[in-house]
């Protein structure tokens, strides 16, 4: 029997959120989306794309799967790439994964069943749908599913411009060609750049929908979302402190997963590894 479950995500930024659209000069701009207001005007709303959130969930899911199956170092590079990053369609003479083999793959590797991926010459469709991460601001009201009292912050309230600098180390021997002061000063260049961010404290909405998945998919995705609550992030530049979030997730169904996906895979580890190793690379 297929399972369809929707989870609503309420996210609060605990640090600035960076999600770059393009770089203009030395400024990395935020990704913005046009939103049609009720009065017919068009506003630009900063959003974090659903593709970005999906990528975070995929990486968390791959780590959970790797911990259970213990396949690190045992898979072809293309297969490992498909599990963690979605893979890429390549030209190959190997037969695509279809029919009985695809059904077996979905029962042994919920990561690919939920998120999909490209293995060999044909993609594998996943049963996951992910929404954009939308800030709870006045300009985004047409997109918001929750009910919020007036007034809400505006786009100008939640957007910020952060400035950074990078200075070459004049004492770095690798940058010192002949040891003279002139050479040191020539390579010691100060570079300044700016990054548009969404400020800490901003609230966001998003959603995740399992569309006609299996009980195994439901159990696996529920654990991925629990892991996102524990240590997930939003946007980029997480290595320097951006992207820290607090998340609350609410499911539209009171019925929880009916299987233990870890026990299911541990009992079938050899078959799962053999199938992953046989996939076209």
The pLDDT tens digits for 59-107 are: 999 999 999 999 999 999 989 999 999 987 777 666 767 788 889 999 9
- The secondary structure of residue 31, as a DSSP letter, is P
Instruction: Check whether 134 has a pLDDT greater than 80.
Output: yes
Segment 233-253 mean pLDDT: 95
Structural domain contains residue 189: no
Domain count, the chain: 1
**Element (H or E) spanning 30, and its range?**
strand 27-30
The pLDDT tens digits for 144-193 are: 999 998 899 999 999 999 998 877 665 555 555 555 655 555 555 678 88
Task: Identify the domain containing residue 53 by its residue range.
Answer: 3-151+198-278
What is the average pLDDT value for the chain, to the nearest integer? 90
The pLDDT tens digits for 267-277 are: 999 999 999 99
* 205 — pLDDT class (breaks 50, 70, 90): very high
Structural domain contains residue 205: yes
Predicted pLDDT at 120? 73
Q: Which is it for the CA torsion 48, 49, 50, 53, positive or negative?
A: negative
Q: Which residues contact 171 (CB under 8 A, 6 or more apart)?
A: none
Predicted pLDDT at 122? 75
Structural domain contains residue 186: no
Q: What is the 3-state secondary structure (H, E, C) of 112-126?
A: HHHHCEEECCEEECC
Predicted pLDDT at 100? 87
Structural domain contains residue 248: yes
Structural domain contains residue 164: no
Predicted pLDDT at 97? 74
Structural domain contains residue 253: yes
Structural domain contains residue 144: yes
The pLDDT tens digits for 100-117 are: 888 999 999 999 999 999
Structural domain contains residue 188: no
Angle between helical axes of 50-69 and 269-278 (0-180°, round to 10): 120
Residue tagged 């991925």 (tokens): 224
Beta strands in 168-263 (DSSP E): 190-198, 203-213, 245-251
């Amino acid at each position: 029997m297929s399972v369809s479950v929707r989870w609503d995500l309420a996210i609060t930024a605990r640090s600035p959120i960076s999600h770059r659209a393009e770089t203009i000069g030395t400024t990395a701009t935020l990704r913005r989306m046009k939103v049609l207001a009720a009065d017919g005007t068009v506003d630009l709303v900063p959003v974090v794309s659903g593709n970005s959130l999906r990528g975070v969930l995929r990486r968390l899911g791959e780590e959970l799967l790797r911990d259970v199956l213990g396949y690190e170092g045992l898979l072809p590079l293309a297969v490992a790439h498909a599990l963690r990053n979605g893979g890429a369609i390549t030209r190959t003479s190997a037969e695509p994964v279809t029919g009985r083999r695809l059904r077996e793959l979905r029962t042994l590797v919920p990561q690919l069943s939920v998120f999909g991926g490209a293995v060999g010459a044909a993609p594998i469709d996943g049963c996951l749908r992910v929404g954009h991460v939308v800030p709870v601001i006045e300009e985004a009201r047409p997109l918001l599913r929750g009910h919020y009292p007036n007034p809400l912050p505006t786009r100008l309230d939640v957007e910020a411009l952060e400035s950074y600098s990078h200075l070459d180390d004049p004492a770095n021997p690798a940058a010192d060609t002949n040891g003279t002061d002139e050479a040191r000063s020539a390579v010691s260049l100060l570079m300044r750049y700016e990054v548009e961010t969404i400020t800490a404290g901003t609230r966001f909405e998003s959603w995740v929908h399992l569309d006609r998945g299996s009980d195994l998919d439901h159990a696996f995705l529920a654990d991925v979302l629990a892991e996102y609550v524990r240590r997930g992030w939003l946007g980029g530049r997480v290595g320097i402190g951006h992207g820290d979030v607090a998340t609350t997730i609410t499911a539209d169904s009171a019925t929880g997963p009916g299987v233990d996906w870890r026990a299911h895979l541990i009992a079938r580890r050899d078959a799962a590894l053999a199938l992953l190793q046989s996939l076209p690379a």
